Structure 1
C-alpha cells in the first residue's frame, strides 16, 4: 500500500531469463569474468571467500553512476550504495600488496591482494565504459567549469 501511494511500480523479469536483465546482468558477467581470473590458482575456504566477496560487493556498489547534485561544489557521485545503505561507503587507505610475493603475505594480506587485483582489473574495464566515445562527425560534449570528472592514476 505504501509503494502504491507513491506510484512505484515493480517490473520483474521471468525466471531463468538473464538475457532480459540487461545492465545488471552485464555487471554480473563482468564480475564473474574478473573474479575467475583473479582466483584462477587460489584455494579459499568459505570464510575467506565470503570475506573477499563482501569486499568486492562494496567495491562494485561504490561505482559512480551520475553526479549526486547539480551543485558545482558537490563532488560526490550517486552510487548504488546510496540506494542500499543511504550513503556512499567510506574506505580507509590500504597498503598496496599488488607487487608483493604472495608467499610472504599473511592470510589477510593475501585476501587484500586478491581484492586489489580484482579492483585493478575491473576498474580499468568499468572506467573506460564510462567515457562516451563518438565518431568525429558528431558533436562531442566539451568540459565546462563545474563538470564532474573522474581522474584515474596511470
Structure 2
C-alpha cells in the first residue's frame, strides 16, 4: 500500500512554508505523558517489587493505553438520527475507528507465574482505562453555575453515557430520541437509542453531549 506524504517544511515556488501559515488548533486532550504521569502519581494501585513490569509487559500496557486514547469520541460525524458513530482520533490516523483486540483466553496451562503476570498486565490496563475514561467524560460535561440558565438538550443529539463496567476502548454512545421536561420546562430525563436500536433512559446530568464535527 502506498502512502502519500507531504513535506510541510518544504518551500513552495513562492518561498512559502506550509508550517508557517497553518493555524494551530486547540489541544483537545492532554498529552499521553501527562495522563500517564498523573496515573502513576495518584493511582491507589499497590505496586510490589515482584509486580514491576518488564519491557514486553510495559510495551503491551502502553499500546493498550494508546489505543484507548485514540478511541475517545471527539464529536458526532453527522446529524443523522440513525448514525450512532462518533469521530475519534482513529478516524484521523487510520481512516476508521480503532478496534480493540479480542480478549485472550486465560493462560491456565502456562503455569501459575505466567497466569499471575497476565492478570497483572490486564489489571494495570483496566485501572488506567477506568480512571482515564471517567475523567475524560467529566471533561466533556459542561457544568455551569447554578444561577446560570443553560439550554435544554435536543432530540437528535449524540451523547456519551458514562458506564463503569465497559471494557477498554468501548464507549456507550446514544442518540436522544425523546426528552422529558419538568414543570419548569427544563429537560431532566431523556430517552436514548444505541447503535443496535435498543432504547434506554438516563438523567441529563449523567450525559456528555458531543459537538457536531
Report the TM-score when normalising by structure 2.
Answer: 0.54
SS of the residue 2:82 aligns to = coil
Query: Rg bigger for which structure?
Result: 2
Does the C-alpha gap of structure 1 residues 11 and 25 become closer, same or farther in structure 2, counting only changes over 3 Å? farther
Aligned match of 1:32: 37
Structure 1 or 2: larger helix share? Answer: 1
User: Counterparts of 1:93 and 1:153 in 2: how far apart (Å)?
Assistant: 20
Check whether the contact 2:67–2:100 (CA below 8 A) recurs between aligned residues. no
Does the C-alpha gap of structure 1 residues 72 and 46 become closer, same or farther in structure 2, counting only changes over 3 Å? same
Deviation at 1:83, TM superposition (A): 0.8
Aligned match of 2:58: 49
Runs of 4+ in 1 over 6 A off after TM superposition: 1-4
Structure 1 or 2: larger strand share? Answer: 2
The aligned runs of 1:114-133 (5 Å cut-off) are 114-133=124-143
User: Counterparts of 1:25 and 1:149 in 2: how far apart (Å)?
Assistant: 21
SS of the residue 2:139 aligns to = helix
Unaligned runs of at least 5 residues, structure 1: 13-20, 96-102
User: Counterparts of 1:57 and 1:132 in 2: how far apart (Å)?
Assistant: 26
**How many pairs were matched up?**
139
User: Counterparts of 2:151 and 2:33 in 1: how far apart (Å)?
Assistant: 30
Aligned match of 1:99: none
The reply to whether residue 80 of structure 1 matches residue 89 of structure 2 is: yes
Check whether the contact 1:31–1:122 (CA below 8 A) recurs between aligned residues. no
For residues 49-91 of structure 1, the C-alpha deviation after alignment (integer angstroms, 9 at most, x for no partner) is 0011000000011111111112121111111111111111123
SS of the residue 1:32 aligns to = helix
Aligned match of 2:99: 90
